[in-house]
Chain A
Amino acid sequence: MNPVLSVRGLEKRFGAVVAADALSIDIAAGQRVSLIGANGAGKTTFVNMVTGYLKPDRGSIALDGVHIGRRSPRSVARLGISRSFQVPQLFIELTAAENLAVAVSGMHATTLSLHSPAEAPGRRDKAIELLQRFGLANLADRPISELAGGVRKLIDIAMALVRRPKLLLLDEPTSGVSAEEKFATMDRVIHAVAPDAATIVFVEHDMEIVGRYADRVIAFYSGRILADGSPQDVLRDPEVRRYVTGGAR
């Protein structure tokens, strides 16, 4: 099967710091991949390059065979890669439904209507349907500024889902969520995401979450891939235990 995402020899340096060192990764359709690594290991740089925010110094990135390494975030999003953020990137003065409505507006047209109401029935329905999937429909008309961090995180993910992406990148979906709620939150995310995003890559620091929800784990260290395989194998890898998990599990 052809990979959805194919990365070859990806390199990125920030001065003397090597953030990506000849990374080569193939991600097949339907996989649920977790990226792990200590802070500064290169996970977010990898996500930023794949989504067009950073341009690689060398190497290629292809989505379904289309080269996207030099494209803008907008162009990459239109081709089928969406992302959520470690710190939710929302429009905080707008309501939850309006945030989703903006995302829905960007889904079809390259030119937005100057007269069609922002929350016309079609757009509003789609926004509410997405909020419903995350159990947030009752908060549709509340401004983001009034919502808790965990709820914002879910809305951030819901916005990324609007385009029904081929590849969904989630940056630490459970960060800021309490230990008691993290599995419930992740269950909710996986359940809500399932109909729209077949392939998911998520950056995660919590190894319990990684072990339970990923079917493949890629461990980063100093911009390189330290280990790549099933959660059982990677999390037991001595190098991963030494440099990434610190002996967890």
Chain B
Amino acid sequence: MVFPVIAVTLFGRVLPTWTLSLATIAASNGLVALGIVVLARTGNVSFGQGLFFAAGGYGVALIANNWGITDAAAQMLIGAACGGLLGLVIGPLIARYSGIFFGMLTLALSMVFYGALVKTTVLGGSDGFNVVRPSLFAISFVDPREADFMLYAVSVVTTGLAGIAATILFRSEFGLASLAVRENNLRVEYLGISANRIITINFVIAAVFAGASGAFALMAQRHIDPQFAYWTTSGEFVFIAVLAGYQSVSAVFVASLALELVRSFSNLYLPNAWQLVLGVFLLAVILFLPRGIGSLWIRQRRKSAGVSAETSAVEEGAPS
């Protein structure tokens, strides 16, 4: 699993400069969407991941400007910690809710945070504020292409490692119990397992991913403003998660990249109707792949597994 991450990172060396920033944004957005997918496996969708995305971004920006920490890896860790700490506060309170109430609560919290940021003049109010270009291991990158590649590499490695961690998590006993919570949380409780704890842990993981992603968005833009917490930002992450489906980690990154490509090209060729193209793209995915892009290969894998299971059942004389 590590090999593709290294390969994609090195592939950045031959990519045109404009695709580096596109890929960085796709990886960063994919990281938040991956968190939404992690949480969605418990049956709960957060419409307010912009909250943690902004918490990570603002946390990193404030520390960078006040304490001079500009190292990209350190900023990523600080962003993840800020998102995670906020998730740790909110998660246990919100875990008792489910379905639309859960989604609307997360949305409401992110909008409360957005409102507070807009009104906080010390944080630049609605205009936000700037930060300096990030470095890496005490190396400053003056050449824009090298700076873009550095950010691309850090975001791809981080997102790749998060993807590997999520794959292990999905296959773990905790991951299986998360799917069980999604289907029947009362039965999970009757088995002696705390459904709320499972939701809380998944929520915190999603918040950590969103916080780290907020750090990348800040590093890429070198500017932060309350838009990070706005509902449309959160909606975009949900958009990617819906495109991907909840069954596959790699689908999240494919969906994120596909979205960025569709957006970039439709913006280029249909500048006045790119939102329409995006909408049609989402509709097509929902219509033909209702379980997301990931179902393309998960279905295939299940089919093969089903064929081998049926073969062995017939061999053992199982009732049909």
Q: Are B183 and A93 in contact (CB under 8 A)?
A: yes
Q: Are B309 and A141 in contact (CB under 8 A)?
A: yes
Question: Which residues of chain B are near A93, meaning CB under 8 Å?
Answer: 179, 183
Interface SS of chain B: helix
Contact of A73 among B171, B186, B201, B312 (CB under 8 A): B186
Name the interface size band of chain A.
Answer: 35 or more
Question: Which residues of chain B are near A102, meaning CB under 8 Å?
Answer: 173, 176-177, 180, 188, 191, 193
Chain A min CB distance to B138 (Å): 33
Contact of B192 among A74, A89, A99, A116 (CB under 8 A): A74
Chain A 149-186 residues near chain B, CB threshold 8 A: 159-160, 162-163
Question: Which residues of chain B are near A117, meaning CB under 8 Å?
Answer: 171-173
Q: Are A94 and B179 in contact (CB under 8 A)?
A: yes
Stretch at the interface among A59-67, A104-112, A213-221: A104-112
B 100-111 binary contact with A (CB < 8 Å = 1; else 0): 000000000000
How many contacting A-B pairs (Cβ < 8 A)?
Answer: 107
Contact of B173 among A74, A89, A118, A138 (CB under 8 A): A118
Question: Which residues of chain B are near A160, meaning CB under 8 Å?
Answer: 190
Tell me if B232 counts as interface (CB < 8 A to partner A).
Answer: no
Q: Are B172 and A159 in contact (CB under 8 A)?
A: no
Cα distance, A111 to B179, chains bound together (Å)? 16
Q: Are B172 and A94 in contact (CB under 8 A)?
A: no
Chain B min CB distance to A140 (Å): 8
Q: Are B169 and A105 in contact (CB under 8 A)?
A: no
Chain A, residue nearest B309 (CB): A141
Chain A min CB distance to B278 (Å): 30
Q: Are B176 and A98 in contact (CB under 8 A)?
A: yes
Chain A min CB distance to B188 (Å): 7
Chain A min CB distance to B5 (Å): 18
Tell me if A6 counts as interface (CB < 8 A to partner B).
Answer: no
Question: Which residues of chain B are near A113, meaning CB under 8 Å?
Answer: 172-174
Tell me if A200 counts as interface (CB < 8 A to partner B).
Answer: no
Q: Are A72 and B189 in contact (CB under 8 A)?
A: yes
Question: Which residues of chain B are near A38, meaning CB under 8 Å?
Answer: none
B 293-318 binary contact with A (CB < 8 Å = 1; else 0): 00000000000010001001100111
Stretch at the interface among A24-32, A76-84, A190-198, A222-230: A76-84
Contact of A116 among B173, B186, B305 (CB under 8 A): B173
Question: Which residues of chain B are near A159, meaning CB under 8 Å?
Answer: 187, 191
With known contacts A77-B191, A116-B173, A163-B192, A139–B184 Cβ distance under 8 A: no
Tell me if A209 counts as interface (CB < 8 A to partner B).
Answer: no
Question: Which residues of chain B are near A99, meaning CB under 8 Å?
Answer: 180
Q: Are B176 and A115 in contact (CB under 8 A)?
A: no
Cα distance, A93 to B181, chains bound together (Å)? 12
Tell me if B168 counts as interface (CB < 8 A to partner A).
Answer: yes
Q: Are B190 and A51 in contact (CB under 8 A)?
A: yes
Tell me if B157 counts as interface (CB < 8 A to partner A).
Answer: no
Tell me if A50 counts as interface (CB < 8 A to partner B).
Answer: no
Q: Are B176 and A101 in contact (CB under 8 A)?
A: yes
Tell me if B90 counts as interface (CB < 8 A to partner A).
Answer: no
Chain A 118-143 residues near chain B, CB threshold 8 A: 118-120, 123, 138-139, 141-142
Chain B, residue nearest A104 (CB): B173
Q: Are B305 and A74 in contact (CB under 8 A)?
A: no
Question: Which residues of chain B are near A101, meaning CB under 8 Å?
Answer: 173, 176
Cα distance, A227 to B263, chains bound together (Å)? 73
Chain B 148-204 residues near chain A, CB threshold 8 A: 168-169, 171-177, 179-180, 183-184, 186-194, 197-198, 201
Chain B min CB distance to A69 (Å): 17
A–B complex contacts, Cβ < 8 Å, 13 sampled: A51-B190, A73-B190, A102-B180, A106-B188, A106-B192, A112-B172, A112-B193, A113-B174, A114-B168, A114-B172, A115-B169, A117-B173, A139-B318
Q: A110-B194, A139-B313 are in contact. List 20 more A-B contacts (CB 8 A).
A: A73-B186, A73-B190, A74-B192, A74-B194, A77-B192, A83-B190, A91-B179, A91-B180, A98-B176, A101-B173, A102-B173, A102-B176, A102-B188, A112-B172, A112-B173, A112-B177, A115-B168, A117-B172, A118-B176, A142-B309
- List the 10 closest pairs (A to B, CB-CB), nearest first: A118-B176, A138-B318, A106-B193, A106-B191, A77-B192, A112-B174, A89-B187, A91-B183, A106-B192, A105-B173
B residues neighboring A (CB under 8 Å)? 168-169, 171-177, 179-180, 183-184, 186-194, 197-198, 201, 305, 309, 312-313, 316-318
